[in-house]
Amino acid sequence: MKDSKTTAGLGWYSKEQWPEYLRLMEDEVDQTYEAWFQKALRLEKEMTKKGVEIVRVPVDLVDFELWCATRKKKREGAARAEYVREKLNRGGI
């Protein structure tokens, strides 16, 4: 029987993107890349321990902004999660 492990995407950003990330997002986000990075690593570790396979999904902020505009979504957490899910499901990673 095949192992049916759950897979989840985790939006992934680079340090170089961070100033643009801060400018773009409409919700409250970590103010430093380091704070976000440490939280992301903790989440990744916790989910992996629970048996969830985590895929780091690079987020192109220009694409994300366009994605939100065409769907009339605020640039916030729920939209980021939906964008990452769609990107993961399309296999465009």
Query: Mind listing the pLDDT tens digit for each residue in 65-85?
Result: 999 999 999 999 999 999 999
Count up the domains in the chain and report the number: 1
pTM of the model: 0.87
pLDDT category at 1 given cuts 50, 70, 90 is very low
Which residue has tokens 């992301």?
40
* Any domain includes 31: yes
* Any domain includes 61: yes
* Any domain includes 1: no
* Any domain includes 3: no
**Rounded Cα–Cα distance for residues 61 and 18 (Å):** 10
SS3 content of the chain, % helix, strand, coil (to 5): 55, 15, 30
* Any domain includes 49: yes
Question: Domain limits at 32?
Answer: 8-90
In the chain, the percentage of residues whose pLDDT exceeds 90 is: 90
* Any domain includes 68: yes
Q: Which amino acid is at 89?
A: N
Q: Are 8 and 55 in contact (CB under 8 A)?
A: yes
